Amino acid sequence: KNEVEQSPQNLTAQEGEFITINCSYSVGISALHWLQQHPGGGIVSLFMLSSGKKKHGRLIATINIQEKHSSLHITASHPRDSAVYICAVGEAAGNKLTFGGGTRVLVKP
């Protein structure tokens, strides 16, 4: 079973700062997902990647398959980015995901 570790668990930033969240996993995967959960519970998928880098607006996700590590970056952070960010890995065979514990991000104005 894959072990997924995220760091940090909590992060507080000032508006405009650059934020990095890290995710490492222990076993080969088919894809890595970054998810966002706002207060109230709903989860949305931000990225799914199996190599390289993806960018969407102010969000950038990278993955290094050899090192079994991924990062999520938020550039020019804004209070509306305050949420829990969750890393999840898809197993090499099958449709199940294994989730990290989440990183709670608070961006202060």
Partner 1 sequence: DVKVTQSSRYLVKRTGEKVFLECVQDMDHENMFWYRQDPGLGLRLIYFSYDVKMKEKGDIPEGYSVSREKKERFSLILESASTNQTSMYLCASSPAGNRNQPQHFGDGTRLSIL
Q: Contact residues for partner 1 (CB under 8 A)?
A: 30-31, 33, 35, 40-45, 48, 50, 86, 88, 90, 94-97, 99-102
Nearer Cβ to partner 1 (12/45): 45
Taking the complex as a whole, the smallest distance from the CB of residue 39 to partner 1 amounts, in Å, to 11
Q: Which is nearer to partner 1, 53 or 96 (CB)?
A: 96
Q: How far is the CB of 96 from partner 1 (least distance, A)?
A: 6
C-alpha dist (Å) from residue 74 to 3, 34, 58, 78, 93 = 24, 12, 6, 9, 31
Q: Which is nearer to partner 1, 74 or 85 (CB)?
A: 85
Distance CA 7, CA 106 (A): 14
